[in-house]
Amino acid sequence: MPDYDDKYLRTGGDGIKRCWWGNDHEDYQRYHDEEWGRPVADDFRLFEKICLEGFQSGLSWLVILRKHENFRKAFAGFDFHKVAHFDDRDLARLLQDEGIVRNRGKIEATINNARRALEVVHEFGSLGAYIWQWEPNSPEPHSVKGDYAHPIPSVTKTSQAFSKDLKNRGWKFFGPTTAYAFMQAMGMVNDHMEGCAFRTEVEVLRSKFKRPQKRCV
């Protein structure tokens, strides 16, 4: 059994100290250690993370992790150029696919967002260039009343503005809380706890990471 170091850090059976949630399950541990918080520039991976955060809304993240590969197959590797051309037959296929979350609203939002992603690429040159412009200059405080007992916010001013901008651009299923979870997942912020074995590693990766820049298309 893991030792509880404090409310937000746990030492696993392998002797590694992690954020409290990273030791709860093998799938969480792998995601925490190898993926969460590491900066991403690739457009398809960014779109994938946006979509999966949307599908996770109201569900356990463990459900999404276990269906991850199924989602990739169902949505053409999250190549939004392809997903943008999904039609009613694809929608029917996806609603019958037991390997994913069969929520009509979330599936329709994914197809819609693929089309909106193409518009962003046309304007900014890449999805990454648009997304990384939202990186805050410094850690932000909580922006939700009653959220202050937890050291990591669930919503910030940036996530609110980011979500609002995408909503104005026609994106769906990307509220402020989902936006901040996405920012954490794709490395825009480093929310590995102080004392977590992976915090410094992620921060080094972020310091060396080349942010995508807007370019003319």
- Tell me which residues are annotated as active site: 31, 53, 61
**Which residues are CB-neighbours of 42 under 8 A, at least 6 positions away?**
128
Bridge partners of residue 3, in order along the sequence: 11
- Residue burial 1-34, b: 16+ Cβ < 10 Å; e: rest: ebeeeeebbbbbeeebbbbbbbbebeebbebbbe
Cβ contact 32:22 at 8 Å? yes
Closest listed residue to residue 65, CA positions, set 56, 74, 73: 56
**Residues whose CB is less than 8 angstroms from the CB of residue 215 and which lie 6 or more positions away in sequence, other chains included:** 124, 125, 126, 129
